[in-house]
Amino acid sequence: MKNRVLHYWYVAIFFTVFLANTHGLSAVLVTNELAVVTIARPLLENDHTYEYTLNVTRTTDEWMRWANGTFQIAVTGGGPYSNLAIELIKDSTDLNLSSYTITPRIITNTFLTGNSITAERASITVLGPKLYPDAFEVKLDTTKPLRVGRFRIYTIDTTPFPSEVTLSWLQPESYFQTTAYKLLNDSIPWHEGNNNIEMLNRAVYTVEPASRIPSMQIVLCDSTYYEGQRVCRVQWYTTTEKNSYGFTLWRALLPYGETDITKLQYEQIAAFPGIGKGNSNSQQLYPPYFDSVDVLRGERYFYKVISMSSDVTVNVDSSGVPIEGICSVTVPYSVIVKAVARQNPFSEGTGIDYKLDDDVYLTIKVYDAIGQEVITLMDNKFMKIGNHEVIFEASNFAIQGMYNVVFVASPIKDESVELSRAVVKLELMR
């Protein structure tokens, strides 16, 4: 009986190995894998700052709640570790900081005296809660990993990194890297409820390729224009953003007839803290701002937008110049700027295309050659800034001859401008 039991045991081992070989090594790894830990979206923000995110992706039903971890990263090309610092970027972690403690630090030779197997490194230690219900639940969804946090490595004296910087997991992983989960029930013989279960070599550590954030530009776009009713519409977008926290909007007036823009004196008219997109390397479009102006017509306004960094100071480029965008908007002097008949002479009717450079109340009347009113086409009607048309149909009593179509416009909310007039001469031929 004993030999028969041993025989069955050997057969079971052979069958297991055979299945592993027929499915291939990758199938075995997938079955054995508990989590993927990734250095995600590493970005070289500038010459002396490097950012990256630590993600933990759950890949199995074997666990649900993440407990803690230690992540040791080698920084290659960053210069001496004694000149490096590391910090957790504010509000960048999915973990509840009342239950978890995240400690990023740089380990230098001053910490390593007498240790035989160790190395200088960037170290992140995460201590989790004692109880299972307080641990973070990681969804079994590869698109929604646990974001341990986004971290920034930089040179203490802000000197540029001496060469191209790369990040990698410190080796050997089995010694330097740890991550653990919690189980509520005693499903493992040696496990007690609410204890941490280390994933050991069943976590896969990866590094995404790094990219460099290009230089930031602020562009005041074509949608910046005179809105009407003495309101200027200002809108901007950024080609990319470096540590952008928000923006300030500034305005200067170039008086009528003046041409030297170097004499402009800007004043801040608005601030938008907290709307910046952080460290995005894609274009960001921001909502328009409507600026009410109160001067005579014919004046030209200049606007500029300046980026604020996360410490609410002005962002500057490598030459120390503030990152900003500048444009100008002219408040129109005239109101009715075009009135042209489509068909002239005409026999039955014609259309008149006209353009308004402001919102107005508009009256349009038709007079005959001796100045008598023939018909009113529009009577003190509100019309928006832009291109319009009006149709004049010759009535049965209209006789052949010359007619004047008179436009009279009164700008909205602007007592500084007298009534604006335009006259279109038409010839009716029967």
What is the per-residue pLDDT across 289-311, written as a single tens digit (0 to 9) for each?
A: 999 887 667 778 899 999 887 66
* 254 confidence band (pLDDT: 50, 70, 90): confident
> What mean pLDDT is predicted for residues 51-78?
95
The most confident of the ranges 7-11, 280-284, 347-351, 388-392 is 388-392
> pLDDT value at position 29?
36
Higher pLDDT, 24 or 322: 322
Q: Helix crossing, 25-32 with 2-23: angle to 10°?
A: 100
Pair 216, 231: CB distance under 8 Å: no
Buried b (16+ CB within 10 A) or exposed e, 176-185: bbbbbbbbee
pLDDT at residue 125 in the model: 97
| DSSP 8-class letter at 133 | G
The answer to whether 243 touches 279, Cβ cutoff 8 Å, is yes
**Cβ atoms of 180 and 69 closer than 8 Å:** yes
Confidence class for position 9, pLDDT limits 50, 70, 90: very low
Question: Percentage of residues in the chain with pLDDT exceeding 70?
Answer: 84
| Lowest mean per-residue pLDDT among 189-193, 275-279, 344-348, 410-414 | 189-193
Q: Which two tokens stand for residue 47?
A: 């010459």
Residue 247: per-residue pLDDT: 92
* Helix segments in 116-270, DSSP class H: 173-176
Higher pLDDT, 199 or 224: 199
User: Among 391, 384, 335, 338, which Cα is nearest to 364's?
Assistant: 391
